[in-house]
Amino acid sequence: MANKIYEEKQRFHDWLSIVMLSLATAGLLYGASTYFWQADSTLFYSVTCLFLAAGLGYAIWWLTSLRSKLTVTDKKIKFKLKGPTATTKKIAWEDVVSCTVVKTPALAKWDRPKITITDEEFYSLDGRNGLMIETVDGSNYFIGCQNIEELQAALNSDDKIWEVITAA
């Protein structure tokens, strides 16, 4: 049986995005309601606003229903993303060529490098904070994590699995 070294559960928590989507939804609902008291407002405009507000409401529901779980054992790295779409990824340590812990500033956490890795599979609910992994077959993965310091401490513990380098 594999020894669990690190485990983290998280959910989408970028409240600025949720607030901005909510304000846009409220604006669209206000626009839809103008049909009842403004003479120059059309029914088509009101219905269009209602459909757009419903779409933004769905986007808010979709984002807030996202959940992820990262588990690192002495044998593999396992990642699950739950929500309207589900993804599971397991990467054995034998298949890992390089593993880098990445921590970015708060203002740049959603900024992905444009010129470096274009075929990277990106799984994160916390922006560009987490593990950047390259495998033997040439695949690149980025797996998000909220507690970067705890993850690095767990990976650099006495039970050394892999040498981890922190990206600056």
Please tell me the predicted confidence (pLDDT) of residue 166. Answer: 45
Please tell me the predicted confidence (pLDDT) of residue 53. Answer: 96
Question: Whole-number mean pLDDT of the chain?
Answer: 82
Band the pLDDT of 165: cuts 50, 70, 90.
very low
Please tell me the predicted confidence (pLDDT) of residue 124. Answer: 82
Work out the average pLDDT over 82-106.
84
Minimum mean pLDDT among 2-6, 77-81, 131-135, 153-157: which range?
Answer: 153-157
CA atoms within 13 A on the CB side of 137: 8
Residues whose CB falls within 8 Å of the CB of residue 71, separated by 6 or more in sequence, listed in order: 4, 6, 7, 77, 78, 79
Asked if pLDDT for residue 89 goes beyond 70, the answer is yes
Asked if pLDDT for residue 121 goes beyond 90, the answer is no
Residues whose CB falls within 8 Å of the CB of residue 94, separated by 6 or more in sequence, listed in order: 136
Minimum mean pLDDT among 29-33, 65-69, 81-85: which range?
Answer: 81-85
| Percentage with pLDDT > 90 across the chain | 19
Work out the average pLDDT over 44-72.
92
Per domain, the residue ranges of the chain are: 4-11+74-167, 15-64
- Model confidence pTM above 0.85: no
